[in-house]
């Protein structure tokens, strides 16, 4: 868990204003799905307790970002970024295999795809796969070489750039 935390902070530190960016991160309740928020027991916190937790996390992220940014400068940016790619995706570089729940009607920018595992992904590029109508189609989502994620459905070679929204 600590390495995932450091990987996320490292990448934020590489940005021109890493600390400022870290301090602007959305609160936990916006970063988690409602189910994840409940499963972690965070829905039981009062508004003041939740605000205090979010403030602590923001401060911690800022402190860790400064440390990681200094390490990144020492080790060389390219090497560190390559080693830690996928940080925006919860530290995981493992491909996701599931099915798209319900009907799949092809790719289109801005479309949302709900997977059987509960994840929701939104297409961010203009890839197109028109005329397709498949029910509960198999899907593979894999990390890209320099960040980002790519979705491909069973039986088709077209890939679409996606980002997880839930």
pLDDT less than 50: residues of the chain: 1-5, 7-9, 12-19, 21-23, 80-81, 83-90
Separation between Cα atoms, residue 137 and residue 153, nearest integer Å: 7
Give residue-wise pLDDT tens across range 14-37.
Answer: 444 444 544 466 787 878 888 888
pTM over 0.75: no
């Amino acid at each position: 868990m600590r390495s995932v935390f450091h990987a996320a902070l490292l990448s934020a530190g590489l940005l021109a204003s890493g600390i400022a960016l870290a301090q602007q991160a959305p609160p936990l309740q916006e970063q988690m799905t409602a189910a994840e928020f409940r499963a972690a027991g965070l829905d039981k916190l009062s508004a003041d307790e939740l605000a205090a937790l979010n403030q602590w996390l923001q401060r911690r992220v800022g402190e860790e970002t400064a440390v990681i940014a200094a390490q990144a400068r020492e080790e060389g940016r390219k090497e560190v970024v390559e080693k830690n790619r996928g940080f925006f995706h919860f530290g995981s570089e493992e491909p996701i295999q599931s099915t798209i729940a319900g009907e799949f009607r092809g790719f289109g920018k801005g479309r949302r795809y709900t997977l059987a595992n509960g994840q929701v992904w939104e297409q961010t590029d203009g890839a197109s796969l028109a005329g397709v109508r498949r029910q509960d189609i198999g899907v593979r989502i894999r990390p890209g070489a320099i960040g980002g994620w790519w979705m491909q459905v069973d039986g088709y070679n077209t890939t679409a750039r996606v980002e997880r929204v839930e």
